[in-house]
Amino acid sequence: MSQMVDLIIFGGTGDLSTRKLLPALYQLHRDKLADRLHRIIATGRSKIDGETFHLEAQKNLQRFLPAADWDEAVWATFRERLCYVQLEAGQSKDYQTLTNLLDSSGAPGRLFYLATLPSLYGEICQQLQAAGAVNRESRVVLEKPLGHDLTSCQQINEQVAQVFDEEATFRIDHYLGKETVQNLLALRFGNALFHPMWNNTFISNVQITVAEDIGVAGRGSYYADTGALRDMVQNHLLQVLSLVAMEPPASLRAADIRDEKMKVLRCLEPITPANVKARTVRGRYAAGAVRGKAVKGFLEEEAFHDADNTETFVALEASINNWRWAGVPFYLRTGKRLTRRYSEIVIEYRRQPFSLFANDPQELTNKLVIHLQPEESISLHTVNKKPGLASKLRLKPVELHLTDESQEKHSSYDAYERLLLDALHGDQTLFMRRDEVETAWRWIDSIIEAWEENAIPVKSYNAGTMGPNAATALVAVDGFSWHE
Ligand code: BG6
């Protein structure tokens, strides 16, 4: 698809479109990066006219874009590219209207972005095909969650595959669009320095934390049925884990990178009823205070039914059974209403075999800390001599910052700009292949089954903390502690 592309967003007035997609498209338009993008057609169920849609879109852009990025002149031209089509997922005639619009466009490429309920993906694809909207230059982007378990995920994939080939199917995980996540490839394979030590001989454990300070307000009914394991670990944390753990790919082409990520996922040791208690911790926030502000507990936020078995926090120990990683625990943790919003990957190295320093504090290990957000940076934790005459050879911790200062100019981009651009250009590298998503679900299902079989309880933690105490114990029994 080297020509112009019409982008059609299903769920065009929904939360994702409002908060993420339209602001990202506006930024691409402003920076003249979306040279392939012809028109943006937002579809939705609301019976509103184009003028009302534009007014709403303008209001939302002003709300969700950083204030400095709003520009009337940019909006005036962006608006011309943006239109609205009312569409009910089950109404064939609405797809006909959409197809007529697409046929009159002059842009041969069509990128259908599905940001609705995933249970509708199959039907939308079939309706698009029946209406003649899918041409040879068409692609589809699928937002998460792709199912609730392996079976439902396979069902969605199967239905979509009846209309779109795998090469035309782009499964989004927005974590792969984050600058520092992509930088993992540069760090690992662009430097001679780290690679020789990237294995179980030198690394003692890896920690991946995605902490959020927000609760689930507004998305409560989705979240009550989903929980942190399905919402975050199945996709974002496992994608990050596979990039950290993968072997060097044959090339940077999508197929080669995805093959290597896939091998990691296949090597994840299933969690079983016998080890689930030792390997996982589930938590749910109770009332507390986040950054000095009192907040309600999860169950008090909305009128939940049957949500007392929903976890808003999960910590677990994953094992990757291959030559590189055997014996190295990968600790994953994520949760809502934690102390603050931050995501990081910590590579902790083994200690040197013998210490010459009398005051060598045992807790000073070398760590490579990759901060994904809110700040994007990499730091290497080392020790130096404590300066001065008073101490002869005493040690002190020193952090070396490997951050490229010029990166700051990209900081107003969110992950979606990169992913939208790649989808427009047909580059699948940062999207999940069907076998990856399904293999990730297989592993997650093993945990859920083990939880159910052992009736693993959801432990309470106070909002504003880093989860239940059991999460500290999870790593402490192996002689480690979470990097805070
Ligand atoms: C989404 C989850 O995929 O990622 C949300 O459904 C979560 O529950 C969000 O809040 C976190 O994304 P980010 O980019 O803010 O870390």
Q: pLDDT 10s per residue in the chain (484 long)? A: 458 999 999 999 999 999 999 999 999 999 999 889 999 999 999 999 999 999 999 999 999 998 899 999 999 999 999 999 999 999 999 999 999 999 998 889 999 999 999 999 999 999 999 999 999 999 999 999 999 999 999 999 999 999 999 999 999 999 999 988 889 999 999 999 999 999 999 999 999 999 999 998 778 888 888 999 999 999 999 999 999 999 999 999 999 999 999 999 999 999 999 999 999 999 999 999 998 999 999 988 876 767 778 999 999 999 999 999 999 999 999 999 999 999 999 999 999 888 888 766 666 889 999 999 898 899 999 988 888 887 778 888 899 998 776 655 555 688 999 999 999 999 999 999 999 999 999 999 999 999 999 999 999 999 999 999 999 999 999 999 999 8
Edge-to-edge order in the sheet of strand 313-318: 395-401, 377-385, 367-373, 342-349, 203-211, 330-335, 313-318, 280-286, 459-462
Enter the tokens of residue 381: 């934790």
Q: Where are the alpha helices (DSSP H) in 82-148?
A: 92-103, 121-130
What is the greatest pairwise CA distance in the chain?
84
Residues 6+ apart with CB under 8 A from 109: 1, 3, 4, 5, 6, 36, 38, 137, 138, 139, 424
- Structural domains of the chain, with CATH: 5-143 (3.40.50.720), 176-476 (3.30.360.10)
- pLDDT the model gives residue 325: 98
Collapsed DSSP state (helix, strand, coil) of residue 391: coil
- pLDDT the model gives residue 307: 75
DSSP 174-218: GGGGSHHHHHHHHHHHH-TTTGGG-STTTEEEEEEEEE-----TT
212 CB near ligand 1 (under 6 Å): yes
User: Which residue's CA lies nearest to atom 4 of ligand 1?
Assistant: 232
Which of 236, 305, 401, 483 is an active site residue? 236
- pLDDT the model gives residue 417: 95
143 CB near ligand 1 (under 6 Å): no
- pLDDT the model gives residue 1: 46
- pLDDT the model gives residue 360: 67
* CA of residue 208 to ligand 1 center, whole Å: 15
Q: In this structure, are residues 482 and 331 in contact, taking their beta carbons and an 8 Å threshold?
A: yes
Q: Which stretches does DSSP call E strand in 319-394?
A: 330-335, 342-349, 367-373, 377-385
Could you give the CA distance from residue 267 to residue 326 in angstroms, rounded to a whole number?
A: 10
Could you give the CA distance from residue 80 to residue 78 in angstroms, rounded to a whole number?
A: 5
- pLDDT the model gives residue 408: 54
| For ligand 1, mutation pick of 212, 219, 334 (most atoms within 8 Å of CB) | 212
Residue that the structure tokens 């998305």 belong to: 219
Active site residue 371: no
Burial (Cβ within 10 Å: 0-12, 13-18, ≥19) of residue 389: exposed
- pLDDT the model gives residue 288: 96
Atom of ligand 1 nearest to the CA of 343: 16
Neighbours of 335 (CB within 10 A): 29
What's the one-letter identity of residue 298? F
